[in-house]
Amino acid sequence: MSVIYSEPWYEDMKALINGSADLRERAPADRIVLSLEVEGDGKSPYVPEDGAYYFLLEIEGGRVEVFRPLPERFSGKGLSFRFSAPASIWESVAAGQTDPITAGLRGAIKVRGDMRFLMENADAVKLLIDLYGSQVDTEWPKGKPPY
Amino acid sequence: MDKSEFDVVIIGGGHNALTCAAYLARANVDVCILEGRHEWGGALYTAENTAPGFCHNIHANFMEFLHFMPFYADFDLPGLGARTIYPEAQAGIAFSDGRPPVIIYREDMIERTCQNFAVYSERDAETWRALKTKANEFAPMMFGNLYTPPAKFDLQKDGLPTVNNAPMTFKFFGLDEEMAYKSIRDCVDELFETDEIRALFYRVAVEFCGPPIEWPGTGGTFLFACLWMPGCWRMMVGGTHRLNGAMVTACLKEGVTMRESSRVERVILEAGRAVGVETVDGRRYTARQAVVSGIGLKDTFQDLVGEERLSDYYRRRVAHFKDGPDQVLGSVAMALREAPDYKSAARDPDINKAWYQVVGYDSAEEVLNYCRAGHIDRIPELPGAGVWVNSIWDPSQAPAGQHNLTGWYFFPRASCLSEAEWEEVKRSYNGRFLALYEKFAPNMTPSNVIADYLHTPLDQERGMRMREGDFGHGAMSPDQTGLMRPFAGASRYATEIEGLYLCGSCTFPGGGVTAAPGYNCFKILCEDFGYPEVWRSESRSY
Amino acid sequence: MGMFDEEFDAIVIGAGHNGMALAGYLARSGWSVAVLERRTEEGGGLCTEELTEPNFLHNLHSNYHSLVGLSPVYDDLELEANGVDYAHPDVQMGSIFSDGTAITVHRDMEKTHRSFARFSQKDADTWLRLWEEVGGYMDLLVRTLMYAPPIALNDLTRALASWGVEEKSEFLSARLRSMSVAEFLDKHFENDRIKAMLAFHAAVCAYQPHVKGLAVTLPVLLGKISNWQLCKGGSHRLAHTLMRVIVKHGGRVYPQVPVEEIVVEGGRAVGVRVPDGFVRAKKLVASSIDVNQTFETLLQPKHVPAKTLEGVAGVEYQDATLFNVHAALNGLPRYKAAEFDPDIDRAWILNVGFESLEDFRQEFDCVRSGRLPEVPRLNVAVNSLYDPTDAPAGKATGLIRVFAPHALVDGGAEAWDERGREYGERCVERWASVCANWDDDALMRRFAVETPFDISRKMINYRFGDWMVGRIHPSNLLEHRPTEELAQYRTPVEGLYLCGASQHPHGYITFAPGYNCLGVIAEDHGLDKWWEEI
Phi, psi (rounded to 5 degrees) for A70: -115, 145
Burial tier of B528 (Cβ tally within 10 Å: 0-12, 13-18, 19+): middle
- Closest of C133, C158, C196 to residue C352, by C-alpha: C196
Rg for chain A, CA atoms, rounded: 14
Closest residue, chain C, to A108 (C-alpha): C136
Is residue B484 within 8 Å of B491, Cβ to Cβ?
yes
- Residues A24-33: tens digit of each pLDDT: 888 889 899 9
- Closest of C307, C319, C317 to residue C484, by C-alpha: C307
Cα–Cα–Cα angle for A64, A67, A72, rounded to 5 degrees: 145
The answer to whether residue C192 sits within a structural domain is yes
Rounded Cα distance, C288 and A43, in Å: 50
What SS3 state is found at A103?
A: helix
Q: Does residue B209 surpass a pLDDT of 80?
A: no
Smallest Cα distance from C516 to chain A, Å = 12
Average pLDDT (C259-270) is: 97
Domain count, chain B: 2
Do residues C139 and C95 share a domain? Answer: no
Cis peptide before B509 (omega within 30 of 0): yes
Boundary of a domain, candidates C201, C225, C249: C225
Cis peptide before C505 (omega within 30 of 0): yes
Tell me the chain B residues in contact with residue C445 when contact means C-beta distances shorter than 8 Å: none
The residue type found at C59 is: N
Q: Predicted confidence band at B212 (pLDDT cuts at 50, 70, 90)?
A: confident
Return the domain boundaries, chain A.
2-136
Is residue C104 within 8 Å of C341, Cβ to Cβ?
yes
Using the Cβ of B161 and the Cβ atoms of chain C, whether some distance falls under 8 Å is answered with: no
The answer to whether residue C65 sits within a structural domain is no
Rounded Cα distance, B300 and B263, in Å: 12
Domain count, chain C: 3
- Closest of B188, B540, B122 to residue B368, by C-alpha: B188
Strand A52-60 relative to strand A31-39: parallel, antiparallel, unpaired?
Answer: antiparallel
The answer to whether residue B242 sits within a structural domain is no
Is residue B23 within 8 Å of B534, Cβ to Cβ?
yes
Which residue of A80, A81, A115 is in closest CB contact with C148? Answer: A115
Strand B89-93 relative to strand B356-359: parallel, antiparallel, unpaired?
Answer: parallel
Is residue C371 within 8 Å of C364, Cβ to Cβ?
no
Burial tier of B44 (Cβ tally within 10 Å: 0-12, 13-18, 19+): buried
Do residues B135 and B225 share a domain? Answer: yes
**pLDDT reported for residue B299:** 98
**Would you tell me how many other CB atoms lie within 10 Å of the CB of residue B427?**
10
Q: Predicted confidence band at C533 (pLDDT cuts at 50, 70, 90)?
A: confident
Rounded Cα distance, B359 and B384, in Å: 6
Is residue C443 within 8 Å of B38, Cβ to Cβ?
no
The answer to whether residue B245 sits within a structural domain is no
CB pairs under 8 A between B and C: 107
* Subunit contact A115:C164, Cβ cutoff 8 A: no
- In DSSP terms, B454 is beta-bridged to B332
Do residues C123 and C220 share a domain? Answer: yes
**Residue B274, domain CATH:** 3.50.50.60
Do residues B14 and B140 share a domain? Answer: no
* Subunit contact C49:B55, Cβ cutoff 8 A: no
Strand B31-34 relative to strand B257-259: parallel, antiparallel, unpaired?
Answer: parallel
**pLDDT reported for residue B159:** 59
Rounded Cα distance, C8 and C284, in Å: 9
Do residues C326 and C414 share a domain? Answer: yes
CA atoms within 13 A on the CB side of B265: 11
Using the Cβ of C457 and the Cβ atoms of chain A, whether some distance falls under 8 Å is answered with: no
The answer to whether residue B535 sits within a structural domain is no
The answer to whether residue B486 sits within a structural domain is yes
* Subunit contact C40:B252, Cβ cutoff 8 A: no
* Subunit contact C236:B463, Cβ cutoff 8 A: no
- Residues A47-68: tens digit of each pLDDT: 999 999 999 999 998 899 998 8
**pLDDT reported for residue B456:** 97
C251: left (phi over 0), alpha (psi -120 to 50) or beta: beta
**Beta strand extents in C2-101 (DSSP E only):** 8-13, 33-36, 48-49, 58-59, 86-87, 91-96
Q: What interface predicted TM-score (ipTM) does this complex get? A: 0.93
Using the Cβ of A102 and the Cβ atoms of chain C, whether some distance falls under 8 Å is answered with: yes
Taking every pair of C-alpha atoms in chain B, what is the biggest distance, in angstroms?
A: 70
Rounded Cα distance, C275 and C272, in Å: 10
**Would you tell me how many other CB atoms lie within 10 Å of the CB of residue B149?**
20
CA atoms within 13 A on the CB side of B283: 18
Phi, psi (rounded to 5 degrees) for B21: -65, -45
Do residues C372 and C430 share a domain? Answer: yes
Closest residue, chain C, to A103 (C-alpha): C136
**pLDDT reported for residue A62:** 87
Helices and strands counted in chain B (H then E): 16, 19
**pLDDT reported for residue C1:** 42
Chain C interface disruption, residue of B261, B394, B455, B462, most C CBs within 10 A: B261
Smallest Cα distance from C463 to chain A, Å = 31
pLDDT, mean over chain C: 96
Using the Cβ of A80 and the Cβ atoms of chain C, whether some distance falls under 8 Å is answered with: yes
**Residue B442, domain CATH:** 3.90.660
The set of residues, in sequence order, having a beta carbon less than 8 Å from that of B506 and lying 6+ positions away, is: B296, B297, B321, B473, B474, B485, B486
Do residues B267 and B218 share a domain? Answer: no
Strand B356-359 relative to strand C321-329: parallel, antiparallel, unpaired?
Answer: unpaired
Chain C interface disruption, residue of A105, A117, A130, most C CBs within 10 A: A105
Using the Cβ of B100 and the Cβ atoms of chain C, whether some distance falls under 8 Å is answered with: no
Rounded Cα distance, B176 and C116, in Å: 87
Do residues C291 and C391 share a domain? Answer: no
* Subunit contact A108:C133, Cβ cutoff 8 A: no
The answer to whether residue B243 sits within a structural domain is no
Is residue C16 within 8 Å of C288, Cβ to Cβ?
yes
CB pairs under 8 A between A and C: 70
The answer to whether residue B117 sits within a structural domain is yes
- Closest of B541, B513, B460 to residue B229, by C-alpha: B513
**Gap between the terminal Cα atoms of chain B:** 41
Boundary of a domain, candidates C448, C464, C480: C464
**Would you tell me how many other CB atoms lie within 10 Å of the CB of residue C169?**
19
Tell me the chain A residues in contact with residue C534 when contact means C-beta distances shorter than 8 Å: 79-82, 112-113
* Subunit contact C253:B399, Cβ cutoff 8 A: no
**B215: Cα separation from own chain's centroid:** 20
The residue type found at B341 is: D
Which parts of chain A fold into alpha helices (H)? 7-18, 21-26, 87-94, 100-105, 115-120, 122-130
* Subunit contact C137:A113, Cβ cutoff 8 A: no
- Residues B304-329: tens digit of each pLDDT: 999 999 999 999 999 999 999 888 98
Do residues C305 and C433 share a domain? Answer: no
Is residue A55 within 8 Å of A89, Cβ to Cβ?
no
- Residues B464-474: tens digit of each pLDDT: 999 999 999 99
- State which residues form the domain around C342: 88-107+319-464
Closest residue, chain A, to C139 (C-alpha): A107
Q: Predicted confidence band at A75 (pLDDT cuts at 50, 70, 90)?
A: confident
**pLDDT reported for residue C359:** 98
Phi, psi (rounded to 5 degrees) for C509: -85, 70
**pLDDT reported for residue C410:** 95
Q: Report, at the CATH architecture level, how domain A2-136 is classified.
A: 2-Layer Sandwich (3.30)
Phi, psi (rounded to 5 degrees) for B128: -60, -45
**pLDDT reported for residue C422:** 97
The residue type found at B418 is: S
- Residues B272-288: tens digit of each pLDDT: 999 999 999 899 999 99
- Residues B409-454: tens digit of each pLDDT: 999 999 999 999 999 999 999 999 999 999 999 999 999 999 999 9
Which residue of B242, B261, B396 is in closest CB contact with C234? Answer: B261
* Subunit contact C151:A112, Cβ cutoff 8 A: no
Q: Predicted confidence band at B163 (pLDDT cuts at 50, 70, 90)?
A: very low
Strand C91-96 relative to strand C102-106: parallel, antiparallel, unpaired?
Answer: antiparallel
Boundary of a domain, candidates B433, B463, B493: B463
The answer to whether residue C79 sits within a structural domain is no
**Residue C101, domain CATH:** 3.90.660
**pTM for the structure as a whole:** 0.95
Using the Cβ of B249 and the Cβ atoms of chain C, whether some distance falls under 8 Å is answered with: yes
Rounded Cα distance, B72 and B23, in Å: 12
Using the Cβ of B425 and the Cβ atoms of chain C, whether some distance falls under 8 Å is answered with: no
Smallest Cα distance from C172 to chain A, Å = 10
Do residues C327 and C457 share a domain? Answer: yes
**Would you tell me how many other CB atoms lie within 10 Å of the CB of residue B312?**
7
Do residues C365 and C299 share a domain? Answer: no
- Residues C224-253: tens digit of each pLDDT: 999 999 999 999 999 999 999 999 999 999
Phi, psi (rounded to 5 degrees) for A3: -80, 135
Using the Cβ of C163 and the Cβ atoms of chain A, whether some distance falls under 8 Å is answered with: yes
Q: Predicted confidence band at B8 (pLDDT cuts at 50, 70, 90)?
A: very high
The answer to whether residue B468 sits within a structural domain is no
- State which residues form the domain around B13: 5-38+260-320+473-529
Taking every pair of C-alpha atoms in chain A, what is the biggest distance, in angstroms?
A: 40
Which residue of C5, C237, C244 is in closest CB contact with B261? Answer: C237
- Residues A103-139: tens digit of each pLDDT: 999 999 999 998 889 999 999 999 888 887 767 788 9
User: Touching C: which chains, 3+ CB pairs < 8 A?
Assistant: A, B
Is residue C173 within 8 Å of C157, Cβ to Cβ?
no
Phi, psi (rounded to 5 degrees) for B242: -65, -30
Rounded Cα distance, C337 and C344, in Å: 7
Is residue C113 within 8 Å of C482, Cβ to Cβ?
no
The answer to whether residue C530 sits within a structural domain is no
Do residues B338 and B352 share a domain? Answer: yes
The answer to whether residue B222 sits within a structural domain is yes
Phi, psi (rounded to 5 degrees) for C128: -65, -40
**Beta strand extents in B281-367 (DSSP E only):** 284-293, 329-336, 356-359
Do residues B333 and B455 share a domain? Answer: yes
Burial tier of B141 (Cβ tally within 10 Å: 0-12, 13-18, 19+): exposed
The sign of the dihedral angle between the CA atoms of B505, B507, B512, B517 is: negative
What SS3 state is found at C314?
A: coil
**Residue C520, domain CATH:** 3.50.50.60
Using the Cβ of C129 and the Cβ atoms of chain A, whether some distance falls under 8 Å is answered with: no
Do residues B214 and B328 share a domain? Answer: yes
Using the Cβ of A107 and the Cβ atoms of chain C, whether some distance falls under 8 Å is answered with: yes
Do residues B290 and B366 share a domain? Answer: no
Which residue of C148, C164, C528 is in closest CB contact with A114? Answer: C148
**pLDDT reported for residue B157:** 66
* Subunit contact C243:B248, Cβ cutoff 8 A: yes
Which residue of A81, A114, A122 is in closest CB contact with C158? Answer: A122
Q: What is the DSSP letter of B399?
A: S
Smallest Cα distance from A5 to chain C, Å = 23
Boundary of a domain, candidates C193, C225, C257: C225
Rounded Cα distance, B50 and B330, in Å: 15
